């Protein structure tokens, strides 16, 4: 149910990402930051600094027991998510959680069900979905502006921290897969995943991985994630029958380019397979448009969406089911890795029979 | 056997690539261009232009019968290669042929055997191997400068001509695979290939494809080829334990960068799998070196190598067996495509028991 | 007067640029290349190569005496231009000449007058004006698309050949100044030039120079030319009140970008100077458009324009008066250099009272 | 005299830059932020946010009267600097002040003298001098690594805020000129300035400006500042006889490149002017080195230097005399603008007869 702002918030986890949550929560008028919680309370206090009135604590129980806390934002290792999120939901708190929702889809479903039945918001901090670039790409794809989706190619490589508990796929690909889920038009869904990976440095888990994701319309999406590249690349191509989008997140002056270029096949639909080979192919070499995009920090928009979905009693843009769909892809990818790259079907995620969004008429 | 220069040459095929062969042959002192042969003799004459003393002809027989012709350079569609190359070898002519050697490896082997037994040069025009960039990458990899090869990632995408007879894999990947074969140190060979592709425009053949190539040292090489990308990308990363090479062929001011950056694992060899996960990982963030490279047209070097190998009676750098190794990868990739991406073993190519190179002591 | 095609042509000068003229003349159907003339006839023959039917000669007299020669294209050092062009015009030949027309404006005017009175075409090979980029920029500026011209900034730097007879200003700035003359709308003309230069390597002439060119509408154009820069830069900004053009000639995928960005002043015209300081300033942060441009070699278009202007008896786009206007800027710049950067007025170039263009109704 | 840390600090000015000072002061252990002062106290409180223990005030007197305040950091409009800095120094507070020190050099000298006689630190927040890039450039230039300085070219353009009180020269060029002063080796000083500017939008002050700065060794430094460019460029070239540095501040992966490329003149010193023209010129086309640089926020280093110079009783790297030298260039540039670009001599700044640095033996 809706509740009035400001919403009392506790941030849990003072590691790599937690300080960003703290900073952006403080800058969000509809949130009132109450606590920063970390098992290492000194680290929490160091993050808050010498000038803050926000309290640090090592006790998650203390946080959940505080009636001033309406919601928690969890930025701890993935293996802790299930217990922390469940406890928060059971304490009646709304939850924003880092990716991935949990390391297992089964556990993820339990949390989604729990949030549903409690009428609480469960939101994934898939930060990229809240960038102006991805918002625009979603509009361009879903509005039909680019035509039919023909291919998606995403590259996310750089000299990355080799994680102690997850491979490069679970570390980086959630970004690409959540963006994919976010921008694809309704009706086009991933059906199969094949994953190839390697661990050339002997880290004990894949440090380089490639995902080929078959989409229900026959197109192919592909993701390249790599912890070992000395150069940083963050690009995504979304090829369409009318336009193709090139997103280069590291080019601040031209993050999103829309190309009116492509290959057209004239009248192929009336031809049999052999005749099609002879069909007339033409090339469009049109203009490139670089749309003006606002510059704002994505995490600020995450916080606003979290606060907004709680205040309005609606599902957030990146809700638990969105998180489950990403989990389904990651699990299929991991199985494919174990099977030396064999294609693995993606188990579909049911839409909610009854969820927060349904209560308020949904949210597009 | 060696023969004196200049070497009489005929170029066969006046389509897309033939004119480049004509121009570079004319600029190579050790070659003497005699003919440009094309079934469409008017096209041949148009390529030669109004000011040339070189003869155009539609008759391949006339060319092969000409004793002034010592060698032919063939730039015709792949499906014609087998007949044209065989006829030339049988007529005692040395052969330079465009990629791929033939559409089938069996046919390719026949040509290699034929050239071997006739003591004639059979050379692949894998032009990229003759660029200053790839020559330098080969040196950096083979000298041990970059350490152990950990990964290779190659991207070759642009709005390309949808070919009437071959898919994007056979059209573009020969470049990447020949470069891979050329730069890998002796002893590291491709063992398996998995390929994923799609034809989102209904062209009747794959227009987008991804190849994952398992190497014998456990590393993974990957190739992305795409005819539908509105942007042109030509990059290759060769990750090593000591250095990583980034080749960007479209950045003329910095085509090759050598990064002293990477991830190191301290003493992982003495640890069991669990302990290894805790092993100390460190990151090098060193300098980048951009070596000065000469600027010359690669096809000029191809012509010089062709003339040189004939004159010296030795195997060229990109000889028939090199072509066969590329064919073996392409065939495995095609089979994998048919098998929905299942990994396919790469059939090894035997070294020659007796070949031109062996006669003259080989050529590094 | 018009004359039928093909037009017999001789190229004079087989140094750096001559071979490009030879190659493009041969590819132009309306031209018939007869001679390549160079004092060093061996060099001329080497440029033509072993397969050409074009004749090489060391005798300019022989060329001018040949009735098959209708026109000459001169690519020799600037100090020779006056004598060579005059002799050609006196022999009744049309002339295409490399920049600069002559080292002195007085001499240039004599040549223009001579061509006028003889009814012959005198055209400058200001190659950049024939690139698709500059053609498009001219359209964008002259059509009013970008609004009023507010500033022009041109940078042309790289590790260049230190010329034996001219400084960097006379070597490189003709490109920028001819483009400036070509794209500025009628009515906006350069009025003053200030030039700053230095010779930090002791070459005996300026190797680095900066030109500030005051325009008649109050705007400032600026040119930076430099032989000593290890990086190559070729950019021009044309700032307008509605749009700003950014031309980066070394970025083949986006040579010309049109920015809908700028600074607007609301109603400043009704305010006195003090009030204007308080006037409302607003910023437009609109889209960027990258227009599709054809890819063709500019020198091919130069040849076509030369042949076309002869065949049609009209002034070419970059005629002698255009060359004189560039000379006037160069002379003023040289005087300013001598005067330590003091601003020097640009002597205007009269339009022709009677010229080739006027005969045929002009050419836009 | 030295004083123990932490040093009590007040930030003055809560506009564009003040919040950055607040944030970085809070993160600096040797500083203890006491106040944020702004005439608009609500703005100050908004900058501090809802969670801060730092006090906001509108009363500068209150700040200066507070014995817990040892130092002030002033980020207010330039026209207020003289009064605010003088009052702080007279109250015995150390001062960090935004550029420019004051709008007039005479006033600046008074402040420097006042700080000297009071034994207080007066430091300019020339932030760029504290970036890893500029620190490295300074080392490369001053160590002789690049050889003799041959030219400097700095470009700083973007769609900038048209300032109400200063022109583009006083707004942006202090960055370039302070960097120039910071990196030039001792003994090479600016001697003359010529400035060209224009106000094409009718803003009442120059929005585009070019500075040509003659150096005492005969080389030329040049600065291009522009508020109207839709593209953002921040580059500086420092050409040397042995190496040339290219700094591109907007290319985070390669901010500083050191080119082993250049033009060499063989033995020109023994030749007269005519002979020199024939002297042998050679070109080096060597490697490019991209040194690894630490990534840290420059303003953090500014704060550390401010705290360190106070604690150690020494002159900071960018002390008042450094500020005066920048002022001398800006004043000369403004005079040149008024004189239509005529070259104006730069009045030298005397080294301190007795200053803080001298007390502690100086600081390189």
- Mark yes or no for CB contact D289/B291 under 8 Å: no
pLDDT for residue D193 is more than 80: yes
Residue to mutate among B145, B251, B292, B295, with most D CBs inside 10 A, is: B292
Residue C137 main-chain phi, psi, to 5 deg: -60, -45
- Summarised one tens digit per residue, pLDDT across range A112-152 is 999 999 999 999 999 999 999 999 999 999 999 999 999 99
User: In the block, which residue shows the tokens 């606002």?
Assistant: A294
Angle ∠(D90,D95,D98) on CA atoms, nearest 5: 125
Residue C292 has its nearest CB partner, among A257, A286, A290, at A286
Check if the beta carbon of residue B121 is closer than 8 Å to that of residue B355. Answer: no
Query: Looking at CA atoms only, how far is residue C52 from chain B in angstroms?
Result: 5
pLDDT for position D244:
98
pLDDT for position B353:
44
Neighbours of A362 (CB within 10 A): 11
What's the average model confidence in pLDDT over D352-364? 42
Query: Looking at CA atoms only, how far is residue B265 from chain C in angstroms?
Result: 38
What's the average model confidence in pLDDT over B49-74? 98
- Mark yes or no for CB contact C343/D343 under 8 Å: no
- Please, what sign has the CA dihedral across residues D286, D292, D296, D300? negative
Q: Calculate the alpha carbon distances from A135 to A24, A142, A183, A301 in Å.
A: 19, 11, 8, 11
Check if the beta carbon of residue B254 is closer than 8 Å to that of residue B262. Answer: no
Residue to mutate among B132, B251, B290, with most D CBs inside 10 A, is: B290
Query: Looking at CA atoms only, how far is residue D257 from chain A in angstroms?
Result: 16
- Mark yes or no for CB contact C291/A287 under 8 Å: yes
- Mark yes or no for CB contact C50/B231 under 8 Å: no
Segments in chain A forming alpha helices (H): 18-26, 41-48, 60-65, 81-90, 105-118, 132-142, 168-183, 273-278, 298-312, 320-338, 356-359
Residue A131 main-chain phi, psi, to 5 deg: -75, 150
- Mark yes or no for CB contact B283/A237 under 8 Å: no
pLDDT for position C141:
98
- Name the residue in chain B with its Cα closest to that of C253: B231
Same fold, D7-125+298-319+351-360 and D129-289: no
On chain C, the residues whose CB falls within 8 A of the CB of A286 are 292
- Summarised one tens digit per residue, pLDDT across range A142-189 is 999 999 999 999 999 999 888 888 999 999 999 999 999 999 999 999
Structure tokens at A45: 């206090």
Residue pairs between chains B and D whose CB atoms are closer than 8 Å:
30
pLDDT for residue D276 is more than 80: no
- Name the residue in chain D with its Cα closest to that of A158: D253
pLDDT for residue D353 is more than 50: no
Residue pairs between chains A and C whose CB atoms are closer than 8 Å:
30
- Mark yes or no for CB contact C53/B52 under 8 Å: yes
Query: Looking at CA atoms only, how far is residue A116 from chain C in angstroms?
Result: 42
- Mark yes or no for CB contact B230/A246 under 8 Å: yes
- Summarised one tens digit per residue, pLDDT across range B181-203 is 999 999 999 999 999 999 999 99
Rounded Cα–Cα distance for residues D270 and B39 (Å): 66
- Mark yes or no for CB contact B289/D287 under 8 Å: yes
pLDDT for position D272:
55
- Mark yes or no for CB contact B254/D288 under 8 Å: yes
Residue A197 main-chain phi, psi, to 5 deg: -145, 170
pLDDT for position A294:
93
pLDDT for residue D170 is more than 50: yes
Average pLDDT value over all residues in chain C: 92
What's the average model confidence in pLDDT over D113-128? 98
What's the average model confidence in pLDDT over B24-32? 97
Rounded Cα–Cα distance for residues A232 and A230 (Å): 7
pLDDT for residue B31 is more than 90: yes
Q: Which one has a higher pLDDT value, B28 or A5?
A: B28
Cβ–Cβ contact A158 with D under 8 A? no
C: neighbours with 3+ CB pairs under 8 Å?
A, B, D
Q: Please give the CATH number for the structural domain made up of D7-125+298-319+351-360.
A: 3.40.50.720
Rounded Cα–Cα distance for residues B274 and B258 (Å): 33
User: In the block, which residue shows the tokens 């700032």?
Assistant: C239
- Mark yes or no for CB contact C200/D239 under 8 Å: yes
On chain D, the residues whose CB falls within 8 A of the CB of B261 are 292
Structure tokens at C326: 């560039």
Query: Looking at CA atoms only, how far is residue C293 from chain A in angstroms?
Result: 8
- Mark yes or no for CB contact C285/A291 under 8 Å: no
On chain D, the residues whose CB falls within 8 A of the CB of C212 are 196, 210, 341
Per-residue pLDDT for chain C (364 aa), expressed as one digit of tens each? 567 889 999 999 999 999 999 999 999 999 999 999 999 999 999 999 999 999 999 999 999 999 999 999 999 999 999 999 999 999 999 999 999 999 999 999 999 999 999 999 999 999 999 999 999 999 999 999 999 999 999 999 999 888 888 999 999 999 999 999 999 999 999 999 999 999 999 999 999 999 999 999 999 999 999 999 999 999 999 999 999 999 999 999 999 999 999 888 765 455 555 554 455 678 889 999 999 999 899 999 999 999 999 999 999 999 999 999 999 999 999 999 999 999 999 989 987 544 444 443 333 3
Domain ranges of chain A: 7-125+298-319+351-360, 129-289
A: neighbours with 3+ CB pairs under 8 Å?
B, C, D
Structure tokens at C189: 């003309």
Structure tokens at D278: 């024939």
Residue pairs between chains A and D whose CB atoms are closer than 8 Å:
27
pLDDT for residue A291 is more than 50: yes
Rounded to a whole number, what is the distance in angstroms from the first to the last CA of chain C?
A: 19
Cβ–Cβ contact A27 with D under 8 A? yes
Q: Calculate the alpha carbon distances from D165 to C219, C263, D170, D171 in Å.
A: 22, 17, 9, 9
Rounded Cα–Cα distance for residues A312 and D149 (Å): 64
Query: Looking at CA atoms only, how far is residue A53 from chain D in angstroms?
Result: 5
Fold (CATH) for B129-289 = Dihydrodipicolinate Reductase; domain 2 (3.30.360)
The 3-class secondary structure across chain C, one letter per residue, is CCCCCCEEEEEECCCCCHHHHHHHHHCCCCEEEEEEECCCHHHHHHHHCCCECCEEECCHHHHHHCCCCCEEEECCCHHHHHHHHHHHHHCCCEEEECCCCCCCHHHHHHHHHHHHHHCCCEEECCHHHHCHHHHHHHHHHHCCCCCCEEEEEEEEEEECCCCCCCCHHHHHHHHHHHHHHHHCCCCCCEEEEEEEEECCCCCCCCCEEEEEEEECCCCEEEEEEECEEEEEEEEEEEEECCCEEEEECCCCCCCEEEEEEEEEECCHHHCCHHHHHHCCEEEEEEEEEECCCCCCCHHHHHHHHHHHHHHHCCCCCCEHHHHHHHHHHHHHHHHHHHCCCCCEECCCCCCCCCCHHHHCCCCC
Residue D212 has its nearest CB partner, among C151, C162, C196, at C196
Structure tokens at B169: 């894999």
Residue B164 has its nearest CB partner, among A201, A273, A277, at A277
pLDDT for position D141:
98
On chain C, the residues whose CB falls within 8 A of the CB of D219 are 198, 200
Residue C269 main-chain phi, psi, to 5 deg: -70, -25
Residue D308 main-chain phi, psi, to 5 deg: -65, -40
CA A291 to chain CA centroid, nearest Å: 23
On chain C, the residues whose CB falls within 8 A of the CB of A261 are 292
On chain C, the residues whose CB falls within 8 A of the CB of D229 are 153, 237, 239, 244
The B residues from 244 to 303 touching A (CB cutoff 8 Å) are 244, 246, 259, 261-265, 268-269, 273, 276-278, 281, 283, 285, 288
């Amino acid at each position: 149910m809706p509740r009035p702002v400001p919403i009392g918030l506790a941030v849990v986890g003072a590691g790599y990402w937690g300080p960003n949550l703290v900073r952006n929560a403080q800058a969000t008028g509809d949130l009132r930051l109450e606590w920063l919680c970390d098992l290492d309370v000194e680290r929490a206090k160091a993050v808050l600094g010498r000038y803050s009135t926000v309290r640090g604590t090592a006790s998650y129980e203390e946080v959940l027991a505080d009636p001033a806390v309406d919601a928690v934002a969890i930025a701890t290792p993935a293996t802790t998510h299930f217990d922390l999120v469940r406890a928060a939901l059971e304490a009646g708190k709304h939850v924003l959680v880092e990716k991935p929702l949990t390391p297992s889809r089964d556990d993820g479903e339990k949390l989604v069900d729990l949030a549903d039945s409690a009428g609480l918001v469960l939101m994934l901090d898939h930060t990229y979905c809240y960038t102006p670039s991805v918002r625009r790409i979603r509009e361009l794809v879903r509005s039909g502006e680019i035509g039919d989706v023909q291919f998606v190619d995403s590259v996310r490589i750089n000299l990355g921290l080799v994680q102690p508990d997850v491979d490069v796929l679970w570390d980086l690909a959630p970004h690409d897969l959540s963006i994919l889920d976010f921008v694809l038009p309704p009706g086009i869904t991933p059906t199969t995943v094949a994953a190839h990976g390697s661990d050339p440095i002997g880290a004990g888990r894949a440090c380089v991985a490639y995902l080929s994701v078959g989409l229900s319309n026959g197109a192919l999406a592909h993701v390249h994630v790599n912890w070992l590249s000395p150069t940083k690349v963050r690009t995504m191509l979304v090829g369409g029958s009318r336009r193709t989008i090139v997103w280069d997140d590291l080019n601040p002056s031209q993050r999103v380019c829309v190309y009116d270029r492509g290959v057209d096949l004239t009248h192929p639909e009336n031809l049999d397979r052999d005749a099609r080979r002879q069909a007339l192919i033409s090339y469009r070499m049109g203009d490139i448009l670089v749309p003006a995009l606002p510059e704002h920090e994505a995490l600020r928009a995450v916080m606003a969406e979290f606060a907004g979905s709680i205040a309005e009693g609606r599902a957030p843009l990146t809700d638990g089911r969105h998180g489950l769909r990403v989990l389904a892809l990651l699990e299929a990818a991991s199985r494919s890795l174990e099977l030396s790259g064999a294609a693995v079907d993606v188990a579909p995620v049911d839409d909610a029979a009854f969820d927060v969004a349904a209560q308020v008429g949904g949210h597009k």
